[in-house]
Structure 1
């Protein structure tokens, strides 16, 4: 992954709007290597689907409490009573998704961390989105936050699109397809671009 300072300088050079945003937010901090297994990253991402961050964190916290403060292995998750998972706050659909992930991990359908690191982005996306409940956004979160891939742009993410709208002072946010085309100019630092767009203040005025 390119250094954060290089990514910040690159984005600031795109146009005055990006330069102002980078100056406002500051340099992106260094992201330490993450050794979290893809199975765990995907289960965590499912917990966050369509939920406020604090609510999802509380659900995951209760899940860890059930397992002595440790994230449950696939076998341990499958052995957890459904009623206990519901008490954590998981919906019936999400319980099906996360237990499906545990089964897929045990079956070898989810690569381990070392294998995932060696795979291309699109190959990982294709393999993991074949699993129930796992869409492209979920895998992109894993690619960005667990595997630290430098050039991922989650165009389906409302926060990213809204951040771009505020940065540019637009009346409406771009469509995912439009943002995908716009974001080509941000490569090879699209993960850093998303990081900045997530942090655009809500009252941020365009130039």
Structure 2
């Protein structure tokens, strides 16, 4: 994924308040947050790019996703558009090296956007679960991808992606001495983070990887 946003760029309006409250409530975050004081959630990419990148990154390592995304954007531009994807698919059904299934999903996503089967402009006014339901109706998009969209595109402050392996790994490492954790246990830990679970999740991701995740 990309380098994290650094100081000098606009941060989400809730970020400072959330960080301060989380440090006051959680002994682990009290140690983690000060290590990343000059970084925060990056500004949103266009909705299509956020979703396409999340599809590419699903269930593979950050390094593999970066390489795959780079090949894809070399063929389709830094901010690929639905029209470009549809045009590329006419001559390259794998969209520059994606897996067959991921290429199919991104082409279907491009078709949804180009044929206006979805209305991205309405998502900002919808609640989290309504956006998730809307997105999950698109082939290849499940709850994890929809939650990444809520975090990275709509910048919703209280998203807890319990299907995210990195989040569970970080909770295991910091709260359970490395022992595997269940979704139930992770949810219990995260109760103290509401209504700022997005921010807590971001810092926990950041604790595992020197380059922050970005979709």
**TM class by shorter-chain length?**
0.7 to 0.9
1:148 paired to 2:155: yes
Q: Alignment length, in residue pairs?
A: 198
Q: Is the 8 A contact 1:21 1:167 kept in 2?
A: no
Displacement, 1:65? 2.0
Specify whether residues 177 and 126 from structure 1 end up closer, same or farther in structure 2 by C-alpha distance, changes over 3 A only. farther
Larger Rg: 1
Q: Residue 184 in 1 paired to residue 194 in 2? A: no
- Secondary structure of 1:80's counterpart equals helix
The 2-side partners of 1:133 and 1:104 are apart by: 12
Specify the SS of the correspondent of 2:92.
helix
Give the equivalent residue in structure 2 for 1:72: 80
Bigger shift: 133-142 or 165-174? Answer: 165-174
Aligned to 1:102: 110
CA distance 1:124–1:197, change in 2 (3 Å): same
Name 2:119's counterpart in structure 1: 111
Aligned match of 1:173: 180
Asked if residue 63 in structure 1 is aligned to residue 72 in structure 2, the reply is: yes
Partner residue, 1:20: 31
**Pairwise CA RMSD:** 2.3
Q: Which residue of 1 aligns with 2:170?
A: 163
Structure 2 residue 96 is matched with structure 1 residue 88? yes
Q: What SS does the aligned partner of 2:154 have? A: coil
Runs of 5+ in structure 2 lacking a partner?
1-11, 210-215
Look up the match of 1:43: 52
Give the C-alpha shift of residue 31 in structure 1.
Answer: 4.0
Question: Following the alignment from structure 2 to structure 1, what is the Cα–Cα distance between the partners of residues 38 and 173?
Answer: 19
Gaps of 5+ in 1: 203-207
